[in-house]
Amino acid sequence: MFTNGVFTNGVFTNGARLNNGLAFGAGTSGLAASGLTGSALAQPAFAAWFDRDAGYSSMVMKYLAQCALPAGQELSYARGGETYTWRGGLGLAPQWAKGGTIPAAEQELVSACFAAHTNAFGKHVQISVRGYGPSGEAIPVTAEEVAGWRFSEATYFGNMFDGSGVYVALSTDSLDPRVSTPRGCAAERGIPGSCGPMVQAGLAADRCRAGADGVTHASCSVNGRSFRPVQVFLNAADVSISE
């Protein structure tokens, strides 16, 4: 379920593991070089990767499609007597969706978005994903979304395609020791979470800079390198604040 930037997360903590198929080279899904298209799914490399763990692979594809493809577009894949359908949403990788090698900017955005959907408890929680696309356009956000999803959780960034890894930079909201959420990877009761291989990168205020609107993060830096990030906001109903 999603409306504009509001999506249901649910990637288990191992969802960002190193064999998620996103990297270039042998032994991966092959999608990084061939595109996120139906014809790419028909390649032997994808079948070999998918068959190693169909349940896990389908989960990866669900969130890849949700992050990379636009709403209204979907991918279908028939394997082992089952047909899998993965629907688009944010459209953060328009070039990759056309076929061919995924550009660096789209690698970063898809990686950030995928990491943002990770949940330490494997729970499904609606999140508001905000940021800028590869051409600098803002991810559409409705007034209802801004009003309902006000808790600033964290900013996610990195690159799982080139081996740079993924990072989470915390907002000050998440460092409140009274706060508990059903997510867990950013922080819980003010204590930074541990969802390896995702790496804690400190405060978003120190790591990231805002884009054109002066609020939404457009870039985050670590180890001397800048990445395109996405920010996650939670609905007030999913945030517990103890007295």
The pLDDT of 199-210, averaged and rounded, is 97
Angstrom distance (rounded) from CA 170 to CA 122: 20
Nearest alpha carbon to residue 170 among 106, 162, 179: 179
Angstrom distance (rounded) from CA 120 to CA 186: 9
Q: In the structure encoding, which two tokens stand for residue 159, read together?
A: 């690159």
For 205-227, the pLDDT digits (tens) are 999 999 999 999 999 999 999 99
For 150-179, the pLDDT digits (tens) are 999 999 999 999 999 999 999 999 999 999
On the CB side of 148, how many CA atoms lie within 13 Å of its CA?
15
- How many other CB atoms sit within 10 Å of the CB of residue 227? 24
The pairing of beta strand 165-170 with beta strand 240-241: unpaired
Nearest alpha carbon to residue 158 among 232, 210, 222, 216: 222
In contact, 201 and 187? CB cutoff 8 Å: no
For the chain, what percent of residues have pLDDT higher than 70? 91
Q: In degrees rounded to 5, what are phi and psi of residue 105?
A: -60, -40
For 117-140, the pLDDT digits (tens) are 988 888 888 999 999 999 999 999
Q: What is the pLDDT of residue 6?
A: 56
Examine the pLDDT at 13 and tell me if it is beyond 50.
Answer: no
The pLDDT of 57-71, averaged and rounded, is 94
Mark out the alpha helices in the chain (DSSP H runs): 31-34, 38-41, 44-52, 54-68, 104-116, 143-148, 204-207
Mean pLDDT of the chain: 90
